Amino acid sequence: MAPDVPTDLFETADAMEMASGARGKALRERRDIVSGDVMRESQLVRLAIGPEGQILPDLNSKFGGRGVWVAANRGAVEIAASKGHIFRSAKRKVDIPDGLADIIELGLRRSLLGMMGMARRAGKLHSGFENVRSFIRENPPAWRIAASDAARDGRNKIRVLSKAPWEATPILGCFTAQDLGQAIGMDDATHCAMAEGKLAKAFTVTALKLHGFTPLVPPEWTEEIEDFEAWRLERKAP
């Protein structure tokens, strides 16, 4: 279980900035402190270094001061925390919180739910089985979203309806119906679809980062996993 952390580290109001580049600037390339590879910021997580040497996940790239960058996956973060990479890159004594990878995962989850709420208010997120079906008959969904406890029959009907005209579409299935409902102001939500657009692009960047820390769909959803991998191959996603 992820440790408790201050929620203000993961302000969802700045979710668009987090995924599209701090303060609206073009995305830049940074060096991953573990592999040494130069990568796009959209493939990395920034770790800010506080005035007392505390390491803070800076998911919105908004904290001032010195920071280091690490590939957005659990393995890289755990190596960076345990093998001295953060210390060497910071060139000073640092205080690394226990469960750093879990803290980052929690922050990315909160950011995705926050963006879903933003999309709902902007009219870019459709919810409910029939509403989703009506939407995807006429529009290519940027993301299909299903609760982790959604029944296979309902998921498959929407999947088939979406795949016929629109080919590969990514699906997110790592939140419960209650989680999804709370994000969009309902008691629960089992099926959602996000429309294409700027917010969907931000959602994609954040979802792919989360994929480095936890599966986006349950392992038994084999057909959805195949769809997701086909979509990644099609768009050459990392």
**CATH code of residue 190:** 3.30.1330.30
Can you give the pLDDT at residue 6? Answer: 38
Extract the tokens encoding 36: 């040494």
Final residue belonging to a domain, choices 105, 123, 156: 105
* CATH at 45: 3.30.1230.10
> Do residues 85 and 147 both lie within one domain?
no
- Shared domain check, 125 and 231: yes
Note whether residue 182 is domain-resident: yes
Q: How many CA atoms lie within 13 A of 139 on its CB side?
A: 17
**pTM for the model:** 0.87
Per-residue confidence in pLDDT tens, the chain, 238 aa: 333 333 333 333 344 444 444 344 456 899 999 999 999 999 999 999 998 899 999 998 888 788 999 999 999 999 999 999 999 998 889 999 999 999 999 999 999 999 999 999 999 999 999 999 999 999 999 999 999 999 999 999 999 999 888 878 899 999 999 999 999 999 999 999 999 999 999 999 999 999 999 999 999 999 999 999 999 888 755 5
Identify which of 44, 53, 62 has the alpha carbon closest to the alpha carbon of residue 91.
53
Q: Are residues 119 and 217 in the same domain?
A: yes
Residues 212 and 216: their CA atoms lie apart, in Å, by 9
Domain span including residue 173:
115-235
Instruction: Let me know if residue 46 belongs to a domain.
Output: yes
